[in-house]
């Protein structure tokens, strides 16, 4: 995963353009993708697909021709969606188009101007402070023209058509945690799920932030009712503790599953309530759709100093942290995929488990008493209303133990799904 982050890091991504396509080409080497191109001007809910932006070169050069700010050194140096410019101007005039982060003078900030025609550069404050007065050549070799918005999907067929969506944004330039780590974790999660035969169908969405998720929703309105659960992955690789942001509902099944897994694992973690700001969970959870979609991060949105700066580089993200994020995703989806409701087929009094060989099957098991209690709890709560997660939470028993008990009872024809 860390190597994948390093491969994608140099590319200049934005909400449209060849940088997004190049990123998806790399991801497509790891998992098969279906790439969608949506033309400029397409109405998507309350938005319109914007013009496509591409950039070849950009720089600020001093009077000797030396490039003091160079897009070739980092894609962060150009204001995202900068319109083309070719001019010579004094530093006093140029300053109005320069963006720095004075609190971190050696870092280059990330800034954009998607929906307002503008041009500009981002640079370290210490670089700006060292510039002498004088004339500077300014050039942004970019195009802003009718084209397409690009996003991609990867689908893992399940036993049922009901879907779990996993979404991550692919619009940020050279920022490793936000959100190349999310892309990498999603890619390897997809590879892990493909080795199984999952119950749900899993749909991975790689799309530009905000406008990409809105476009996906607009193009999938007729099949939104298939989406049962969802997770947005972002900031998945820093060394902070895991943070789960609940869906707008607050009690969606994905919310309960993530809380159960994080609490049971004894990992340091935080559970945050939903707010209508952050990543694309706010699009999936908008009231017209109201999907059960939460967001998993490590340190959340804007919660670390390196956020949206050049300090968010591949050395900032940790292979161990990404591995931990991936492990939690796999654990959570293992619970989600096996969480069923059952009906007790012998609900009048306690069925005789011994004559069905269910007690004998526990002989020699170190957790025989726990397994027996799990059977009794599953029988007690198999009323068609309670899930196996309900059983685990109410009984205090491990989810895997509850699933094993349900499997045994189902095999003995004492419960049915």
- CATH code, 16: 3.40.630.10
Q: Which of 317, 338, 359 is the last residue of a domain?
A: 338
* Whether residues 377 and 312 fall in one domain: no
* Whether residues 222 and 300 fall in one domain: yes
Q: Which residues contact 149 (CB under 8 A, 6 or more apart)?
A: 15, 16, 37, 38, 40, 42, 49, 50, 52, 208, 211, 212, 215
222 Rama class: left (phi>0) / alpha (psi -120 to 50) / beta:
alpha
* Whether residues 108 and 137 fall in one domain: yes
* Whether residues 349 and 325 fall in one domain: no
- Cα separation, 330 vs 253, in Å, equals 16
* Whether residues 322 and 380 fall in one domain: no
pLDDT tens, 246-257? 999 999 999 999
Q: Does the predicted TM-score (pTM) go above 0.85?
A: yes
- Cα separation, 407 vs 403, in Å, equals 6
* Whether residues 36 and 179 fall in one domain: yes
Percent with pLDDT over 90 in the chain: 94
* Whether residues 33 and 159 fall in one domain: yes
Count CB neighbours of 350 within 10 A: 10
Q: Which of 106, 128, 144 is the last residue of a domain?
A: 144
- Cα separation, 228 vs 124, in Å, equals 45
- CATH code, 404: 1.10.10.10
How many folded domains does the chain comprise?
3
Backbone angles phi, psi at 409, to 5 degrees: -65, -35
* Whether residues 188 and 260 fall in one domain: yes
**Residues annotated in the binding site for Zn(2+), as ranges?**
172, 178, 308
* Whether residues 129 and 167 fall in one domain: no
Q: Which residues contact 45 (CB under 8 A, 6 or more apart)?
A: 214, 217, 218
Give the neighbor-by-neighbor strand order of the sheet with 201-207: 34-39, 148-156, 201-207, 163-169, 227-233, 293-297, 242-245, 269-272
Higher pLDDT, 300 or 361: 300
Q: Which tokens is 346 given?
A: 């012998």
Q: For residue 309, what is the DSSP state?
A: B
Backbone angles phi, psi at 225, to 5 degrees: -65, -10
Whether residue 105 is predicted with pLDDT greater than 70 in this model: the reply is yes
Q: Which of 302, 322, 338 is the last residue of a domain?
A: 338
What is the arithmetic mean of pLDDT over 37-48? 98
Name beta bridge partners: 99: 122
Residue-by-residue DSSP string for 268-289: -EEEE---S-SSTHHHHTSTTT
* Whether residues 164 and 305 fall in one domain: yes
Q: For residue 49, what is the DSSP state?
A: -
Whether residue 363 is predicted with pLDDT greater than 60 in this model: the reply is no
Residue-by-residue DSSP string for 103-144: TSTTPPB--B-SSS----EE--HHHHHTPPSSEEEEEEEEEE
**93: three-class secondary structure by DSSP:** helix
Q: What is the pLDDT of residue 366?
A: 61
* Whether residues 394 and 349 fall in one domain: yes
Q: Which tokens is 152 given?
A: 């991609």
- CATH code, 120: 3.50.30.90
* Whether residues 125 and 272 fall in one domain: no
Domain with 139, as residue range(s), is 52-144
**Residues annotated in the binding site, as ranges?**
172, 178, 308
pLDDT tens, 193-218? 999 999 999 999 999 999 999 999 99
pLDDT tens, 330-355? 999 999 999 999 999 999 999 999 88
């Amino acid at each position: 995963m860390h190597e994948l982050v390093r491969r994608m890091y140099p590319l200049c991504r934005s909400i449209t353009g060849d940088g997004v396509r190049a990123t998806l080409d790399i991801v497509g080497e790891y998992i098969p993708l279906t790439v969608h191109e949506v033309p400029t001007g397409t109405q998507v809910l309350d938005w319109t697909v914007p013009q496509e932006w591409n950039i070849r070169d950009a720089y600020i050069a001093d009077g000797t021709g030396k490039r003091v700010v160079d897009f070739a050194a980092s894609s962060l140096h150009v204001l995202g969606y900068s319109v083309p410019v070719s001019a010579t101007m004094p530093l006093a005039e140029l300053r109005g188009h320069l963006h720095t982060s004075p609190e971190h003078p050696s870092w280059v900030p990330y800034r954009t101007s998607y929906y307002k025609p503008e041009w500009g550069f981002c640079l370290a404050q210490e670089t700006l402070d060292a510039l002498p007065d004088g004339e500077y050549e300014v050039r942004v070799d970019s195009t802003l023209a009718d084209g397409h918005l690009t996003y991609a999907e990867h689908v893992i067929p399940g036993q049922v058509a009901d879907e779990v969506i996993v979404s991550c944004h692919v619009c940020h330039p050279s920022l490793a945690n936000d959100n190349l780590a999310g892309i990498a974790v999603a890619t390897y999660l997809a590879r892990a799920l493909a080795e199984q035969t999952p119950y749900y169908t899993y749909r991975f969405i790689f799309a530009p932030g905000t406008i990409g998720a809105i476009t996906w929703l607009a193009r999938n309105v007729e099949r939104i009712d298939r989406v049962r659960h969802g997770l947005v992955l972002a900031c998945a690789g820093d060394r902070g503790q895991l943070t789960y942001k609940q869906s707008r509902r607050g009690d969606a099944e994905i919310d309960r599953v993530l809380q159960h897994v994080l609490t049971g694992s004894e990992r340091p973690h935080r559970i945050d309530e939903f707010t209508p700001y952050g990543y694309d969970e706010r699009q999936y959870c908008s009231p017209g759709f109201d999907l059960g979609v939460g967001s998993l991060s490590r340190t959340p949105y804007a919660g670390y100093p390196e956020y949206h700066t050049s300090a968010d580089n591949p050395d900032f993200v940790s292979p161990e942290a990404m591995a931990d994020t991936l492990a939690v995703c796999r654990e959570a989806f293992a619970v989600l995929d096996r969480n069923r409701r059952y009906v007790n087929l012998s609900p009048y009094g306690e069925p005789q488990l011994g004559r069905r060989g269910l007690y004998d099957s526990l002989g020699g098991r170190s957790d025989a008493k726990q397994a027996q209690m799990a059977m009794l709890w599953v029988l007690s709560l198999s009323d068609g209303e309670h899930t196996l997660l309900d059983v685990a939470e109410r009984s205090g028993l491990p989810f895997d133990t509850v699933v094993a008990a349900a499997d045994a009872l189902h095999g003995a024809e004492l419960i049915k799904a």
